[in-house]
Structure 1
Amino acid sequence: MIVKNEERHLSRCLQSVKGIVDEMVIVDTGSTDATKEIAYSFGAKVFDFEWVNDFSAARNYALMQSTCDWNLVLDADEYIVNDCKSIIRHFIETNEGVVGRIKRIDEFNQNGERRYAQSYLSRLLPKGVTYSGRVHEQVDSPFPRKNVNVEVYHDGYVHTNKTERNLNLLLQELKQHPTDDYVLYQVGKQYKLLQQLNMAEKYFEESYRLVPLHAWYRHSLVIDYLYTMTVNRSFEQGLQVIAIEQKRLDDSPDFHFACGLFYMDAIFCHTDRYAHLFPLIERCFIRCLEIGETEKYDRVRGTGSFLAAYNLGVFYEVTGQIEKAVHFYKRAAHEEYEKAVGRLNRLLGK
């Protein structure tokens, strides 16, 4: 781990891994709170590293201090939530020249609602594997990636805002690598978090133009790009992207969910021009439910279940198909989606 002023989260993280790992290596980049004392209390080996505005430099220094053949990399605002000690041991014993990808659940707020996104991250590393990239650093290895059933919860997006810091580091990186599609994407994400959506769209567009078809983050880029174009009302550009991606991402609930919202906004803003898209709204959310909560892509929980069902309920309620609306509200309410419960109660007069 690399840490700085993480006294709020560190105990929770270390408590979750202390029975799993052989040693804890923590590199501190300048804490002024009780972070180091907490680390020592768990028996961790603590090293100081002067911060040089480069996350990979700090990560690689931490990896150098490890005496183990494999390294599990975590951040202080993450913690393991499943019983995975034997799973990790089995993975290590049966794999060589492979990088393990663990599942991370990110809690975030959207429109006043708590949402959860899940993604697989390369975090179980054989000795000798290192990082590159100043910020949003990536594992730099030709080894294949394989998913391992380790589940980590992350609530750092809710409690802290490091967007400005990350953006500054990414812009420095971009000066050195102006056509790096991944860095362009990450810059766009930071502007999106800052609600500077015109800037976000600009960088997403540049990244989309350059990103290889096989890039692991391409799916997420397309989704972020679509949501940004929806808010910016860049409807013609959005329709072009949807047409390009339609077949390739037909098995992605997040793609169809984003398309459904895109069509709704396009029709709302320019009814005459986009009225022909109206039937596609229903089709998109039905397709989400057909696919379900797939593990193939990084995704937001609910796009293949209760969120899509709720939006179908709204669609049918608005179009006067009350029986269908009640059916899909019930489906979403069954998964304890509160907005669906509220709409259902109003429809049923409760």
Structure 2
Amino acid sequence: MKTLSLVMIARNEAETLARCLDSVYSLVDEIILVDTGSTDNTKEIARSYHAKVFDYTWNQHFAEARNYALEQSTSDWNLILDADEYISNECGETIRQFINGGNAIGRIKRIDKFMDKNGEAYAQCYISRIFPKGIVYEGRIHEQVQSNLSRKKLSVEVQHDGYYMKVKSDRNIPLLKLELEADPSDPYYHYQIAKEYKAIENHNLAYVHLQKAYQLITRKEIYAPNVIVNFLYAIIAVGKLEEGLGLIEREREFLHDFADFHFASGVYYLDLILGNTEKYIGLLPLIEQAYLQCLEIGETDRYDSVIGTGSYASLHNLGVFYEVTGNETKSRICYQKAAALNYQPSIQRL
């Protein structure tokens, strides 16, 4: 029977650490926590769960800290979680079957909580977090597992609210700049720093880096679809609306089954028409088509995506479209369907 360690790095995580450890304590054989300089009682909380706690001098490099933590593990397999994450489904048997079934990288589903203009929102992504001993990370920030082993999606669901609770751009942007100084041609770090700038509403810099990421991607990257969608939103945010038409046309076939792309296109068409109604009023039917396409695709795990683009959020936006174009019957039907999924903006709209 293979053994499994939870391996963590943490600093001043007393607020959320117990929640994380409660969710995983019964699933692992060992807990390793490497503390990078806490001034609260993070280490005491960890020890109360019988964790092995190690001190590490923070050197502005996440992969090196994680790899030091992995070196302390004595198990056959390692599970990586952060303190602002916690397992939210029954998955013990799934994990045990996976680690006893041969070497591979386990990708778990993470649900990220964030704020948008309508309030609380959620996005989902699959991340490599369960792997055999000996595998390490690379990258100063947004570090990645380095391995040629195959990746397998697992029915393990983790909630993450760290970026909802506090903005981390002050920490992340300088580290991302260092990565870009080392390799300005890496689209991944242009994409990541753009997300940080978007979070602090510096849309101009977000646009600059997304434009660069878009120019550099090969479309084989797992994150390439999200670069394109975020670039379209950046185009909207900075008002370079003419650019969006070409982008949508170029990427329509590549992203034909990605609800987030069609959702962003619907948002874009509305802004374009409102910006120059006389010129673009003929594109009005494309708004309806975009959201209908989202609903046809539905919610899927095929991409890292915002939850709701294939269901309630598209129903709501379609309801708004029908309302302002005078089709009250269709509008009400859309709002009712979204409200049945507990989407608060539609409940309020009704």
TM-score by length of 2: 0.96
Amino acid at match of 1:199: L
Match of 1:67 among 68, 74, 77: 74
In structure 2, what is the equivalent of residue 248 of structure 1?
254
Q: Counterpart in 1 of 2:231?
A: 225
Residue 331 of structure 2 corresponds to: 325
Structure 1 range deviating more: 4-13 or 111-120:
111-120
Note the 1:40-189 alignment, pairs <5 A.
40-96=47-103, 98-189=104-195
The residue that corresponds to 1:267 in the other structure is 273
Hey, what's the Cα distance between the residues in 1 that align with 2:286 and 2:102? 45
Give the conservation status (yes or no) of the 8 Å contact 1:293–1:301: yes
Match of 1:23 among 26, 30, 53: 30
**Following the alignment from structure 1 to structure 2, what is the Cα–Cα distance between the partners of residues 145 and 89?**
16
The more displaced of 261-270 and 226-235 is 226-235
Q: Is the 8 Å Cα contact of residues 179 and 189 (structure 2) preserved in structure 1? A: yes
How many residues of Structure 1 are paired with residues of Structure 2 in the alignment? 343
Q: 1:6 pairs with 9, 13, 28, which one? A: 13
Distance of 1:136 and 1:273 partners within structure 2: 43
1:163-203 C-alpha deviation (Å, 9 max, x unpaired):
11100110011111111111111111111111110110110
**How far 1:112 sits from its partner (Å)?**
4.8
- What is the CA–CA distance in structure 1 between the aligned matches of 2:41 and 2:211, rounded to whole Å? 43
CA contact under 8 A between 1:105 and 1:116: conserved in structure 2?
yes
Q: 1:193-227: CA deviations, max 9, x gaps?
A: 11110110110010111112110111111111111
Alignment RMSD: 0.9
Q: Which residue of 2 aligns with 1:309?
A: 315
Separation in structure 1 between the aligned mates of residue 218 and residue 70 of structure 2, nearest angstrom = 30
* Identity among equivalent pairs (%): 49
Letter in 2 for 1:190: E
Instruction: State whether structure 2 residue 209 is matched by structure 1 residue 199.
Output: no
Stretches of structure 2 that go unaligned for 5 or more consecutive residues are 1-7
**Would you identify which runs of 4 or more consecutive aligned residues in structure 1 move more than 6 Å?**
none
Distance 1:273 1:145 in 2: 48
Which moves more between the two structures, 230-239 or 143-152? 230-239
Distance in 1 (alpha carbons) for counterparts of 2:283 and 2:220: 30
Distance 1:79 1:338 in 2: 25
Q: 1:279 aligns with which of 280, 285, 302?
A: 285
Determine if contact 1:10/1:76 at 8 Å carries over to the other structure.
Answer: yes
Q: Report the TM-score when normalising by structure 1.
A: 0.96
Q: 1:258, 1:308 → 2: CA distance?
A: 10
Distance in 2 of aligned mates of 1:323 and 1:22: 57
Corresponding residue of 1:348: none
Query: AA paired with 2:232?
Result: L
The alignment partner of 1:24 has SS state of: strand
Question: Which consecutive unaligned segments of at least 5 residues does structure 1 have?
Answer: 345-350
Given residue 250 of structure 1, which amino acid in structure 2 is its aligned partner?
H
Q: State whether residues 191 and 197 of structure 1, in contact with CA within 8 Å, keep that contact through their aligned partners in structure 2.
A: yes
Q: Deviations over 1:301-348 (max 9, x none)?
A: 11101110111111111111111111111111111112212222xxxx
In 1, distance between residues paired with 2:152 and 2:278?
49
Partners of 2:108 and 2:128 within 8 A in 1: yes
One-letter amino acid of the structure 1 residue matched with residue 32 of structure 2: V
**In structure 2, C-alpha distance between the alignment counterparts of 1:111 and 1:341, rounded to whole Å:** 16
Aligned AA for 1:240?
A: G
2:217 to 186, 211, 221: 211
Alignment of 1:290-301 (within 5 A): 290-301=296-307
Residue number among 319, 325, 339 corresponding to 2:345 in the alignment: 339
